[in-house]
Chain A
C-alpha cells in the first residue's frame, strides 16, 4: 500500500497556455490528447462515480442528514436537531453495546494476531509441506464469517455441545457457554481467534522479505533466538503488524453475523453479545428508528475513523520503515 501511495502520478498540466520550451515539453502530452485522455478516464470511471454518489459517499452524507431527523420509513420525517444524539447519551443498551464491542475488539484482535505471528514464524523456518499447512490454517478465515459456522458454534458451545461432551469425558460438567452471560462473548472471541489464517498469510509474506543475512550476522555475533526475534524480526515486521492491526480492528468492529446467529438476533443472553452493529440493526431495521440508527452509524464511523487515525499516529513511534 505504501508503495502505491508514494508513486504519485505527474501533475496534470494546469497552465497549458505557456508550456516551458525545452526538453521537458516533449514529454508532456499535447493539450488535445490530454483532453481526450481526460474524457476517456471519466468514461471509464462513470460506474465508479455513480457508485460514489448513490452507494457510498452519497449515503454517507445522507445518513448524517437523517441522524438529525426522526425518519422511520413510514410517513413524514421531521428535523429534530440533536435529539437522536441526546438520546444516545442516556441509552444504556448503547453503552452496553459499546462495551461488548470494545471488549471483543481489544481481546480478540491481539490474541488473533499473536497466534498468526507465532504460526507464521514456525512455518517460516523452512518447514516441509508449507503450502498444505498454510491452506489448512487459512481455511477457517474463509468460512468464519458464514452463517453455517455460527450455527456450528452455537452447537459446539451449547449446553449439550461438543465442548461439554469432551469435558464430560474428563468428568467435568460444563456450562451452556453460549447461553451464559459471562461466557457467550468469550465463545465469539474464540471464533475470531480461530480465523487467524488471513493475517498469518500476510505475516508469512512479510517474514520472507527479511534478508537472511541479518539473522546470519546476529548468529555469528552470538545473539540468542529471543534477541534475534526482538531485535530483527519484530522491527522488520512492524509495517506488517501495523497493517494487520488496522485491518483486523476495522473488521472486528463490524462483526455482525456471528453474534446475530449465536444469539438468535437478540444479542443475548442479557445483552452480553449485543454488538454495536447488531444493536444498530435492531434500531434501524427492527424498530425502524432510522434517524437514531443513522446517528449510531455516524458514531461508529467516528470510532473506527478515530481508532484508525490513532493507529496511524502512533505508528510513527513504533513502526520501522527500513531504509
Chain B
C-alpha cells in the first residue's frame, strides 16, 4: 500500500517535471518557431498575429527576399560557403599540425609556447583588429576572403589546438613508438596514424568552425567592403538597415535561410557538439 502510494506520487512528480521542461523548452523555442511561421505570413500579419499558424499562407516572402538586395541571395550564400570552407580547411590543417607538436613532440620552449597558445584563446579579436586591418590593407587583401581564411590556416584558433591536443594525448603512445621503430618519420606518423585516429576531434573542429564562421559578423563586416563580396550576415545587415515596416516578411524569410545550415549542422553533429562543449567548454 505504502509503496504503491509512493510510486504514484513519484509518477505524478515525474509527469510534472516533464510538463515543466516541455513548457519551458517551447517557451524558449517559441520566438524561433514564430519566426519560421511568420516567414510564411504576409508582413501585415506578422505585426498583429502572435500565433504560430498563418491565417493567410504565403510563399511569396522567399522569392521576394531572395531578390531584394543588389545580388540574388544565393550570391551571398555562395560567398559564405567559400569563406566557411576555407576556414574549415585552414583550421583542420593548421591546428592539427600545431596540436601534434604540442601533444607528441619534445622541443625547446614547449611549455612557454603552450602557455602562450592557451593565452591567445582568451585574446579578444577587438584588441588585434586594427593592426590586422592595417596589415591586410597593406597586402591589398581588404575586400577579399583572404583575411577570413589565412589566419585559420595559421592556427590562430587556439581553442581547436587545445581540443586536439587533449584528444591526441588520449591516444596510446605505443602506436607512435611502434611506427617509429618501423622507420616512420614524424610526417608519416602524423598523416597516416594520428590524423585518421583523430577523426572525432577533427569532426568537432569542422562543425564548430562551420557554425562560428557562418555566424561570424564582426570580422566579415570589417574585411568585406563591397556588396559583391558580402557574406550572408553582412548582406542581412544591409537588408535590415534598408527595411521599412513593409518588408519584414522577406527579411524573416532570408533570416530563416541564414539559420538553416547552422540548424542542419546542429542536427547532424549533435554528438560531437555536446562532447566538444563538455570537454573544452567552448560554445
Q: A29-B106, A146-B215, A147-B258 are in contact. Are A134 and B123 (CB under 8 A)?
A: no
B48 adjacent to chain A (CB < 8 Å): yes
Q: Per a CB cutoff under 8 Å, which of A55, A123, A146, A243 touches B151?
A: A55
Q: In the complex the two chains form, what is the Cα distance from A143 to B131 in whole Å?
A: 29
Residue pair A41, B127 in contact (C-beta under 8 Å): no
Judge whether B106 and A37 touch: CB under 8 Å.
Answer: yes
Q: Report how far A16 CA is from B46 CA in the complex, Å.
A: 75
Residue from B47, B135, B262 within 8 A of A146 (CB atoms): B262
Contacts of A154 in B (CB 8 A): 240
Provide the A166-180 mask, 1 if CB < 8 A to any CB of B, else 0: 100100000000000
- 8 Å CB interface, B38-54 against A: 46-50
Query: Is B222's CB within 8 Å of the partner chain A?
Result: yes
Q: B132 on the interface (CB 8 Å rule)?
A: yes
- On whether the beta carbons of A9 and B111 are closer than 8 Å, the reply is yes
Let me know if B266 and A142 touch, CB within 8 A. Answer: yes
**Contact digits for A280-323, partner B, Cβ 8 Å, 1 yes 0 no:** 11001100001001100110110010001000000000000000
Q: CB distance A56 to B120 under 8 Å?
A: yes
CB–CB A136/B124 < 8 A: no
A55 touches which of B20, B98, B128, B255 (Cβ 8 Å): B128
In this assembly, does B74 line the interface, its C-beta being within 8 Å of a C-beta of chain A?
Answer: no
Total interface residues in chain B, CB < 8 Å? 95
**Separation of A215 and B229 alpha carbons in the complex (Å):** 58
Complex interface: chain A residues within 8 A of B82 (CB): none
Instruction: Give the residues from 248 to 279 in chain B that come closer than 8 angstroms, CB to CB, to chain A.
Output: 248, 251-252, 255-256, 258-259, 262-263, 266, 270, 273-274, 277-279
A82 within 8 A of B: no
**Other-chain contact of A47, B93, B237, B241 (Cβ < 8 Å):** B93
| A152 at interface, CB cutoff 8 A | yes
Residues of A within 8 A of B88 (CB): none
Interface membership of A30, Cβ < 8 A: no
Q: Is the CB of B259 within 8 A of A155?
A: no
Closest A residue to B251 using CB positions = A151
Inter-chain CA distance A143–B155, complex, in Å, is: 25
Tell me the dominant secondary structure on chain A's binding face. helix
CA distance A4 to B103 in the complex (A): 10
- Give min CB distance, B80 to chain A, whole Å: 11
Tell me the bound Cα distance from A265 to B256 in angstroms.
22
A-B contact pairs, 18 of them (CB 8 A): A12-B106, A41-B101, A44-B105, A48-B97, A48-B117, A48-B161, A51-B156, A60-B131, A142-B211, A142-B273, A146-B259, A165-B48, A202-B277, A205-B279, A260-B237, A261-B217, A297-B127, A300-B124
8 cross-chain pairs, A with B, having the tightest CB-CB distances, nearest first: A51-B154, A59-B131, A41-B107, A148-B255, A62-B131, A59-B128, A44-B101, A205-B278
Given contacts A37-B107, A260-B217, 15 further A-B contacts (CB under 8 A): A12-B106, A41-B110, A45-B101, A48-B97, A51-B154, A59-B132, A73-B134, A129-B18, A136-B28, A152-B35, A152-B255, A169-B50, A257-B217, A298-B127, A301-B123
Which residue numbers of B lie inside 8 Å of A, CB to CB? 14, 17-18, 20-21, 24-25, 28-29, 31-32, 34-35, 46-50, 93-94, 97-98, 100-101, 105-108, 110-111, 113, 116-117, 120, 122-135, 137, 151, 153-156, 161-162, 165-166, 169, 185-187, 190, 211, 214-215, 217-218, 221-222, 232-233, 236-237, 240-241, 248, 251-252, 255-256, 258-259, 262-263, 266, 270, 273-274, 277-279, 281-283
